[in-house]
Amino acid sequence: MEEQNPYKEIEEECKNLWEKEKIYKFNVKTKKKIYSVDTPPPTVSGKMHIGHACSYSQQDFMIRFKRMRGYEVFYPFGTDDNGLPTERLVEKTNNIQSKNFSRAEFIKICMDFLKKELPNFVQDWKNIGISCDWDMTYSTIDENSRRISQWSFLDLYKKGRIYRKDAPAMWCPECRTGVAQVEVQDKEIDSYFNDILFECENEKIKIATTRPELLAACVAVFYHPEDERYKKFKGKKAKVPLFNFEVPILEDKRVDRKKGTGIVMCCTFGDQTDMEWQKAYNLPIKTAIDAEGKMTEIARKYQNLSLKDARKSIIEDLKKNNLLVSQTPIKHFVNVHERCGTPIEFVKSKQWFVKYLDLKENLLKWGKELNWYPEFMRHRYENWVNGLQWDWLISNQRYFGVPFPVWYCKECGNPIFADEKQLPVDPLKDKPLIKSCPKCNCKEFIPETDVLNTWFTSSMSPLLATVSIKDEEVKKRLFPMSLRPQAHEIISFWLFNTLLKSRLHFEKNPWEDVAISGFVTLKGEKMAKSKGNIVSPQEVMAKYGADAIRYWAASSKLGEDFDYQEKDIITGKKFVNKILNASKFTFMNLKDYKNQKPKEIKELDKLILEKLDKIIISSTENFEKYEYSRVKNEIDNFFWRDFCDNYLEIVKKRIYQNRGDEKISAQYTLYQLLFNIIKLFAPFTPFVTEKIYQDYFRENEKEKSIHLSKWPEKITEIKNEKERDKDVNKWESFLELIKMIRQEKSNSKKPMNSEIKLSIPEEQYNLFKDMLDDLKDVSNAVEIKKGIFKVEFI
RNA sequence: GGCCCUGUAGUCCAACGGCUAAGAUAUCUCGUUUACACCGAGAAGACCGAGGUUCAACUCCUCGCAGGGCCACCA
């Protein structure tokens, strides 16, 4: 790294202070109103990425505001370290395969791995200044999470929402597990349309397929009822090449006449349409693929081959027998498992499901009861609900995860459920509390070896997060939670499932507000490891500091994707530098200031204080609506333009020249301005504002951290809003006048401090009559006359 | 195919239906003044297209174009 973060020391100092003084601790005895947050637990798979840095910063702005606003903030931190992602990470890192270990061994390897890696993983979130209570952490694989997930399973079973079914389900041959609808993605892959010859009464029928390996499972051939080409085959039978068995030729409107040869083979579990046909025409069920992703015995000589190998060798055999007319290369979309990219198969297997297809209407209604920020994100949720086609498959045939609290009777297969008292339970190790099967009295039980899908657990996050709260009364006060912040790509996973669970278990929504963040792109494209366009937040922080990256994150609105540009981070770094310098300079001018109020606040000072009030009022309103980027924008302008470029320039002479009460008025104003500015910035750049607070303000102010101080409230007394607007306008036109003078100097290529004689219109002269000395100071005018605007150089 | 989001200076990104369309960065000119050259002052530079609503449209509506996303289909 060429450059070093110049603010590393400040950041370390602040982190130590926050940790030592427990600044972000949730006080269980609080009398204040609680603001509770269902923090997203990041998946433990590698390191924090820039999207995390951005979205966690954004939630932290809103939460820090609430804390300063007087709420007792409940902001825990969890890690999602349960299930497939962690299992795959451990497999990759240790170069091992879970199937070569016993379940207990592999779980131990995973837990050891987590123990070693978690502190490092979490450190990134601490480094970027996330104000969680770091004593309130949870993991989705810890004992509490296992207990709650298993309880959830038992409770849903009691409520009639859980069932087990032996049916075709989406299956990943690579991970060797059933997968849920939500875990399936589109992927474009290269393939071939193979035109294969079927035979019907000595006539050849050319059928196009991308899946020749499924020939053995062919149960029918379909064409469109209005397709003249094929009507002649109605009611006849077709002979399947290589396998030489006959299947009926049927009509169905679902056939696309334009696709391939317009006639299609139907294999039991080929795709969803195939399954619909199987049901509609009561076709036989032929299973060609087993749970290992290999061909079954119906594939005859191809049995035990992998799908890929079977396809290859069937194609070869078709060629040999002149049954393959042609191969056309195509690109098409197939469903793949989102975790590994392997095409999904439909495989008949016993799986556990949560029944929810009957709840679509309710789910839509419950979604409407949430406050969505931004509002339009609700459509994504509704879109998902409307498109649901499968009940929720919750069983995974994996090792690592939360086990089902279930055994089966050896004799009759009756499921035996664990007793709530014995949770968390591991059926591989533990025994059910009942001694014999209530149905057949058998005393032997077979443990369920599947584990619960990771979303089944993370959907309990509002409960998981409260693990450290022992007091039931306090726990109750946390629900429903105030806020669920999260990214939009998991609306259909985490948000949907959490809402569903909360309604099914408790009949109420889990939160009031949901805030959905966008993601970070690079040159308009989503960052992805596979594309190699990753920006590492660790490197960015090492170069420019945590405040810089946060300042950058604050410039994007909720729900809006935005483009990463290094120069924008540099802008953040410049800000940190600027506010440190401005503070240093301010306090150089406050050396002899004893915190007294002036007898009279000078006109100019009153105007800028009123402008500050205006900023405070609108910032507060915007923050309440989670519009943090507007807040940042406004205070940013006020800080640079009003405070640094103008007010500081105007009053430095007044202070330097020691003009009695007028000097005190300036000093009082400087103190107020800077103090409120750093408070307004505190949610955004917590490190530098803390540093300034500790160095300059702490001795006068009572709170031990700026982050515990009160959010600013207006300081000036005015009769009404109109009066303030008038005064603020006066301030703006004063700045306008200064700008004109500077313009003159610049156009005349004179230095800014060159002495001048100034003429201004009588109207302005009168308007600014109490500020003429300030005007002289800032413009270095020796005299100000009434007249047409004119700058004369001396 | 259904739905959603976004189109503003070279680039990133603001703007209750209403004054000269804001800021950052890059460019050009000037300037070291009792914090800051990681600076200051100034200049130049933009509303995707076509209709419509309105006294008034960057803003609202319709259509189109372009980019992105979610979902469905995918023999």
Tokens 């690079």 found at: A522
Instruction: Name the residue among A65, A63, A43 with its Cα closest to residue A122.
Output: A43
CB-CB contact of A760 with A787 (8 Å): yes
Q: Which of residues 419-478 of A touch strand B (CB under 7 A)?
A: none
Q: How far apart are CA A152 and CA A534, in angstroms?
A: 38
| Through-space separation of residue A740 CA and nucleotide B45 C1' in angstroms | 21
Residue A656 burial class via C-beta count within 10 angstroms: exposed 0-12, middle 13-18, buried 19 and up: exposed
Q: Which of residues 588-607 of A touch strand B (CB under 7 A)?
A: 588
Convert the pLDDT of each residue in A527-566 to its tens digit: 776 667 788 899 999 999 999 999 999 999 898 888 898 9
Q: Which two tokens stand for residue A72?
A: 């007792």
Q: How far apart are CA A465 and CA A456, in angstroms?
A: 15
Q: How far apart are CA A259 and CA A725, in angstroms?
A: 68
Q: pLDDT at position A722, please?
A: 82
For residue A45, the SS3 value is coil
| Through-space separation of residue A632 CA and nucleotide B16 C1' in angstroms | 19
The one-character DSSP state at A528 is -
Q: Cis link prior to A225 (omega < 30° from 0)?
A: no
Residue A729 approaches strand B within 7 Å at CB: no
Residue A649 approaches strand B within 7 Å at CB: yes
Helical axes A50-68 vs A537-544, angle rounded to 10°: 60
For residue A266, the SS3 value is strand
Q: Which two tokens stand for residue A747?
A: 């156009």
Residue A653 approaches strand B within 7 Å at CB: yes
Q: Which of residues 330-349 of A touch strand B (CB under 7 A)?
A: 332-335
CB-CB contact of A265 with A208 (8 Å): no
Q: Which two tokens stand for residue A169?
A: 């389900």
Specify the pairing of strand A34-36 against strand A72-74. Answer: parallel
Instruction: Name the residue among A70, A89, A84 with its Cα closest to residue A27.
Output: A70
| Through-space separation of residue A85 CA and nucleotide B45 C1' in angstroms | 49
Q: pLDDT at position A2, please?
A: 46
Point out which residues pair with A185 in neighbouring strands: A336
Burial A429-448 (b: 16+ CB within 10 A, else e): eeebeeeebeeeeeeebebb
Residue A371 burial class via C-beta count within 10 angstroms: exposed 0-12, middle 13-18, buried 19 and up: middle
Instruction: Name the residue among A455, A445, A527 with its Cα closest to residue A498.
Output: A455
| Through-space separation of residue A733 CA and nucleotide B37 C1' in angstroms | 29
Q: Which two tokens stand for residue A545?
A: 């500091």
Tokens 């800000």 found at: A575
Which segments of A440-591 does DSSP mark as H helices, in order?
Answer: 454-458, 461-464, 472-477, 496-506, 537-544, 546-553, 566-588
Q: pLDDT at position A151, please?
A: 98
Q: pLDDT at position A276, please?
A: 85
Q: pLDDT at position A517, please?
A: 92
Q: What is the ipTM of this complex?
A: 0.94
| Through-space separation of residue A764 CA and nucleotide B55 C1' in angstroms | 33
Q: How far apart are CA A706 and CA A689, in angstroms?
A: 7
| Through-space separation of residue A382 CA and nucleotide B72 C1' in angstroms | 14
Specify the pairing of strand A481-487 against strand A345-354. Answer: unpaired
Residue A182 approaches strand B within 7 Å at CB: yes
Q: Which nucleotide is nearest to A573 (CA to C1')?
A: B38
Instruction: Name the residue among A415, A456, A403 with its Cα closest to residue A180.
Output: A456
The sheet carrying A781-786 orders its strands as: A781-786, A756-760, A790-793
Chain B nucleotides with an atom closer than 7 Å to a protein C-beta: 2-6, 11-15, 22-26, 29-36, 38-43, 67-75
Low-confidence ranges of chain A (pLDDT < 70): 1-3, 529-531
* Cα torsion angle, A120, A125, A128, A130, sign: negative
Residues in Cβ contact with A438 at an 8 Å cutoff, skipping those fewer than 6 apart = A414
Which segments of A657-720 does DSSP mark as H helices, in order?
Answer: 660-681, 686-692
| Through-space separation of residue A314 CA and nucleotide B71 C1' in angstroms | 35
Which segments of A209-267 does DSSP mark as H helices, in order?
Answer: none
Q: Which residue is nearest to nucleotide B74 (CA to C1')?
A: A333
Q: Which two tokens stand for residue A792?
A: 């004369």
Q: How far apart are CA A77 and CA A148, in angstroms?
A: 17
CB-CB contact of A296 with A159 (8 Å): no
Q: Which nucleotide is nearest to A492 (CA to C1')?
A: B70
Q: Which two tokens stand for residue A234?
A: 């109605």
pTM for the model stands at 0.92
Single-letter code of the amino acid located at A44:
V
Number of C-beta neighbours around residue A249 at 10 A: 21
Residue A563 approaches strand B within 7 Å at CB: yes
| Through-space separation of residue A732 CA and nucleotide B19 C1' in angstroms | 14
Q: How far apart are CA A16 and CA A21, in angstroms?
A: 8
Task: For residue A284, give the H/E element and its range.
Answer: none
Q: Which two tokens stand for residue A403?
A: 């086990």
Q: What are the CA-CA distances from residue A283 to residues A168, A250, A256, A433 (Å)?
A: 15, 11, 20, 44
Instruction: Name the residue among A31, A107, A108 with its Cα closest to residue A71.
Output: A31
Q: Which two tokens stand for residue A198?
A: 């079927």
Which segments of A594-637 does DSSP mark as H helices, in order?
Answer: 603-624, 628-637
Instruction: Name the residue among A51, A335, A3, A288 with its Cα closest to residue A189.
Output: A335
Q: pLDDT at position A1, please?
A: 41
Q: Which two tokens stand for residue A600?
A: 């009279």
End-to-end C-alpha distance for chain A, whole angstroms? 52
Number of C-beta neighbours around residue A729 at 10 A: 12
Q: How far apart are CA A685 and CA A547, in angstroms?
A: 5
| Through-space separation of residue A573 CA and nucleotide B37 C1' in angstroms | 15
Q: pLDDT at position A530, please?
A: 66
Interior CA angle at A563 toward A561 and A567, to 5°? Answer: 145
The one-character DSSP state at A289 is B
Residue A4 approaches strand B within 7 Å at CB: no
For residue A667, the SS3 value is helix
Instruction: Name the residue among A513, A494, A255, A559 with its Cα closest to residue A371.
Output: A513
CB-CB contact of A86 with A148 (8 Å): no
Residue A256 approaches strand B within 7 Å at CB: yes
A623 backbone dihedrals φ, ψ, rounded to 5°: -65, -35
Residue A648 approaches strand B within 7 Å at CB: yes
For residue A576, the SS3 value is helix
Q: What are the CA-CA distances from residue A142 to residues A39, A81, A147, A174, A452 (Å)?
A: 17, 9, 9, 27, 14
